[in-house]
Amino acid sequence: MNAPALTQMDRRGFLKLATVAGGGFVLGSFVRADTPAGLPTESVEKAGDLFAPNVFLRIASNGAVTIVSARPEVGQGIKTSLPMVVAEELGVDWKDVTVVSGPLDPSFGPQFAGGSVSTPMSYGEMRKMGATARTMLLEAAAQTWSVPASECVAQLGAVRHTPTGRILKYGDLVGKASTLAIPDPGSVVLKDPNSFSLLGTRVGGVDNLKVVTGQALFGIDQKRPSMVYAVYVKSPVWGARALSANVDHVKTLPGVRDAFIVDRTVPAGQITGLVPGVAIIADSTWSAFSARTELKVTWEAGAFPSSSWEGFAGQAREIAAAGADAPKVKETRRDGDIDQAFAAAAKVIEANYSYPFISHANLEPQNCLVEVVGDRADIWAPTQNPSGAQKIAAEVLGVPADHVHVTITRIGGGFGRRLDSDPVAECAALAQKTGLPVKLLWNRTDDLQHDHYRPGGFHFLKGAVDAQGKLSAWRSHHVSFGSNMGADDYPARFVPNYLLLNSSLENGVPQGPWRAPGSNTYAWVTGCFLDELAHAASKDPVEFNLALLGDKDLVSDPGTTGRAYNASRMRNVVRLVAEKAGWGRPMPKGSGMGLGYYFSHQGYIAEVAEVTVSPKGDLRVDRVVAVVDVGSQIVNLSGAENQVQGSIIDGLNAAWRQELDIREGHVVQANFDEYTMLRIPDAPRKIEIHFAKTNYPPTGLGEPALPPLAPAVFNAIFAATGKRVRQLPLSRTDLSWS
């Protein structure tokens, strides 16, 4: 029998579920692998037939299984995949499992979602959790029958005694199991992955039906009794305070309850707290949005009122032209004799690459719901970082962090933006002032003009190949905006002569992590320039890059990542993607193939794009082939394919269309009519995904498949047209040919 259809729990609801009379057997979290020596191996208190507190798993006396998903669901499928891991080791039928979302609680351990770390951080722990429960149920059955546990097997929610064929369902064993001591984690035997029956199969998302039928899962859906609605208007010029506003007039408008100025509560330029603005409180979203159109504010100038993208580009060119000894240039790394290598080179080429600031463009705009009662607060928020939201709210409200309860809602797109909790700070301040539950909603203009953007950047490159056609020297001058200082040192792992220079431009642009931070642009710059060098060496790009990767298995480079780079894994995916794509076959004029590969967020990914460009310059991406090595186990095949497909389309979207223009200290674009997104006809006609399983721990998939897409497409465009594109977005470049 299925458990009750629960999808979301606050703390009170969870405790109620865990203490249902005659309920079940709740297993606390076991020791983590990194627990310091000398600490207890479990933190469990017995309460009747329950184990608490660190509760993830509940087995009811009717056989229903409830598994708590404690990390935010951002569309990456983690709410389905991690409970699948528990269910696999537990040995239950997936149809008997109900997954519920847990509130922010230290009992659950880390609860953020970002950096594709949910799977690598949780996979082993979830396996042990399911296996520990299975071990205890086996022991409970063995004691019930007075037989050795070694004679018992667990499968599909029941224990069978092999010699006699007797069967006890899990529900019949919860009373006995609740009396047993939790075994030492080291003694628990995990399943042989070859026996997995759930992991690696296609499983639909646990919330799919609720999403497509419009049930209230997302932050934007949340409601509370007596709730009021708010907008929070900030200066278009970052960091500016409101000097005055016609709030008295706004208060007279239909449905408006209040309007007031909020002065600065964080230092100028800080983006993680409550920035200054003007609030409007109303009886409905429509009333608040309508009143906003009549709000008139006089803003101060701001810290960088004259900043612009064209100005940044001009400064970058001036700094690069000034040379390595200029005051604003920092030598970050030097290997070998770079000057001698260039002097002895057979060919030397130079190229400048640039990319703009872009927005996260989440489909669900920023929102939050906060209710403050005395020195306590409840928050409902689509946040990737619930502990960060709790901390910011506590700071704004002036209360201890443990007085702030956070319910994590489903998220309609994050991509790193919702790791920052500025909307929570705004909403908490307004709820405290009004004394009512407040729902804050940003509009699309707020989202675009007050995002924490993917940084733009400029790369001034010089590379050399020797007489044998091998890469012999690499010089990079990266001019950035502070948050992405330090260009990727990927070539330094393989090039004996390497020089990296860095410069930072003063700016007031709020910046933050954007899907596959750093890698999303470094892969494009590095992958395209390597393609330029391959052609300069008269080498096939696949063979050139395989030669670059060398013949070692591990390439250690403490100067970059501090950990070994597995060159053999990368060689494998490059070879395999070339094979699967049919690399080297003749292509008609105007068509071409391009290679992109990258190591990002512990994943080794290679992609080949096949494109057609018409003589007029119209681009069509005909096919993308991806080979993905994220370790030994694909948890949910359906979810994994979805993540790779989404990364490829998102990567194409960013590379082809997205661009923000900055003028006079603010973003110009205000909505999607000005900020162009990829449309369905522009998506790749075909995406082929091949997972290369390797004997390494499973890693995440939300980000690593995005970085190789841009270099693959741009290199394919060069193969098709002979045109080398060195600026993003692609839409800025005329691709016509004859």
Residues linked to residue 369 through DSSP beta bridges, in sequence order = 380, 439
- How far CA 659 is from CA of 16, 238, 418, 615, 677, in Å, comes to 49, 18, 20, 25, 9
Spatial neighbors of 214 by CB under 8 A, at least 6 apart, are none
How big is the chain by its Cα radius of gyration, in Å?
Answer: 28
* Pick from 89-103, 277-291, 510-524, 557-571: least confident: 557-571
> Has residue 43 got a pLDDT over 50?
no
> Has residue 331 got a pLDDT over 70?
yes
Same domain, 418 and 496: no
Q: CA 138, CA 135: separation in Å to the nearest integer? A: 5
Same domain, 352 and 378: no
Cα angle: 338, vertex 341, 345; to 5 degrees: 145
DSSP type of residue 240: P
Same domain, 348 and 468: yes
Helix axes 118-145, 170-177, angle to 10 degrees: 90
Q: CA 532, CA 726: separation in Å to the nearest integer? A: 11
- The whole-number pLDDT of residue 490 equals 81
Task: Give residue 246's domain range.
Answer: 223-303+366-441
Same domain, 467 and 431: no
The reported pTM is 0.93
Q: CA 393, CA 376: separation in Å to the nearest integer? A: 11
CA dihedral over 514, 517, 521, 524, signed as positive or negative: negative
Q: CA 185, CA 129: separation in Å to the nearest integer? A: 9
**Number of structural domains the chain divides into:** 3
Same domain, 280 and 160: no
- Residue 181 burial by CB count (10 A; 0-12/13-18/19+): exposed, middle or buried? exposed
- The whole-number pLDDT of residue 560 equals 52
Residue 164 lies in a domain: yes
The b-or-e profile of 348-380 (16+ CB within 10 A means b, else e) is: bbebebbbbbbbbbbebbbbbbbbbeeeebbbb
Residue 36 lies in a domain: yes
Residue 215 lies in a domain: no
Residue 214 lies in a domain: no
pLDDT tens-place string over residues 463-509: 999 999 999 999 999 999 976 555 677 888 999 999 999 999 988 89
Same domain, 633 and 681: yes
- The whole-number pLDDT of residue 8 equals 52
DSSP type of residue 635: S
Residue 471 tokens, joined: 């890469």
pLDDT tens-place string over residues 57-103: 888 888 888 899 999 999 999 999 999 999 999 999 999 999 999 99
What mean pLDDT value characterizes the chain?
90
Domain stop point among 151, 179, 207: 207
Q: CA 646, CA 704: separation in Å to the nearest integer? A: 11
pLDDT tens-place string over residues 292-327: 999 999 999 888 888 999 999 999 999 999 999 999
Of the candidates 65, 87, 67, 79, the residue with the CA atom closest to the CA atom of residue 118: 79
* Omega before residue 729 within 30° of 0, cis: yes
> Has residue 4 got a pLDDT over 50?
no
- The whole-number pLDDT of residue 600 equals 93
Same domain, 63 and 167: yes
Q: CA 482, CA 505: separation in Å to the nearest integer? A: 7
Residue 446 lies in a domain: no
Same domain, 387 and 327: no
Mean pLDDT of 571-576: 98
End-to-end CA distance of the chain: 67
Same domain, 85 and 155: yes
> Has residue 252 got a pLDDT over 90?
yes
pLDDT tens-place string over residues 353-379: 999 999 999 999 999 999 999 999 999
Where are the strands (E) in 466-523, listed by range?
471-480, 497-504
Candidate ranges 19-23, 26-30, 689-693; pick with highest mean pLDDT:
689-693
Q: CA 258, CA 61: separation in Å to the nearest integer? A: 53
pLDDT tens-place string over residues 683-696: 999 999 999 999 99
CATH code of residue 560: 3.30.365.10
DSSP-H helix ranges across 54-188: 78-90, 118-145, 170-177
Q: CA 668, CA 701: separation in Å to the nearest integer? A: 33
- The whole-number pLDDT of residue 271 equals 60
> Has residue 33 got a pLDDT over 60?
no
Same domain, 54 and 173: yes
What are phi and psi for residue 545, nearest 5 degrees?
-75, -35
Residue 4 lies in a domain: no
Residue type, 203: V
Q: CA 64, CA 55: separation in Å to the nearest integer? A: 16
Q: CA 392, CA 177: separation in Å to the nearest integer? A: 42
Spatial neighbors of 405 by CB under 8 A, at least 6 apart, are 10, 11, 103, 104, 376, 377, 378, 379
Q: CA 158, CA 139: separation in Å to the nearest integer? A: 12
DSSP-H helix ranges across 475-556: 519-536, 541-549
Of the candidates 189, 59, 188, 151, the residue with the CA atom closest to the CA atom of residue 160: 151
Spatial neighbors of 302 by CB under 8 A, at least 6 apart, are 235, 237, 238, 239, 240, 508, 665
Query: Of all residues in the chain, what percent are helix, strand and coil, respectively (each to 5)?
Result: 30, 25, 45
- The whole-number pLDDT of residue 440 equals 98
- Residue 681 burial by CB count (10 A; 0-12/13-18/19+): exposed, middle or buried? exposed
- The whole-number pLDDT of residue 713 equals 98
- Under a CB-based contact definition with an 8 Å cutoff, are residues 655 and 683 in contact? no
Residue 423 lies in a domain: yes
Residues linked to residue 371 through DSSP beta bridges, in sequence order = 378
The b-or-e profile of 334-347 (16+ CB within 10 A means b, else e) is: ebeebeebbeebeb
Residues linked to residue 398 through DSSP beta bridges, in sequence order = none
Same domain, 168 and 128: yes
- Under a CB-based contact definition with an 8 Å cutoff, are residues 473 and 464 in contact? yes
> Has residue 52 got a pLDDT over 60?
no
- Under a CB-based contact definition with an 8 Å cutoff, are residues 127 and 56 in contact? no
Residue 25 tokens, joined: 């057997």
Same domain, 557 and 588: yes
pLDDT tens-place string over residues 144-199: 999 999 999 999 999 999 999 999 999 889 888 888 888 887 889 999 999 999 99
Tokens 């979207």 found at: 653
Residue 213 lies in a domain: no
Query: What percentage of the chain carries pLDDT values higher than 70?
Result: 90
Q: Which strand ranges, in their side-by-side order, compose the sheet holding 256-262? A: 256-262, 277-282, 228-233, 438-441, 367-373, 376-381, 404-408
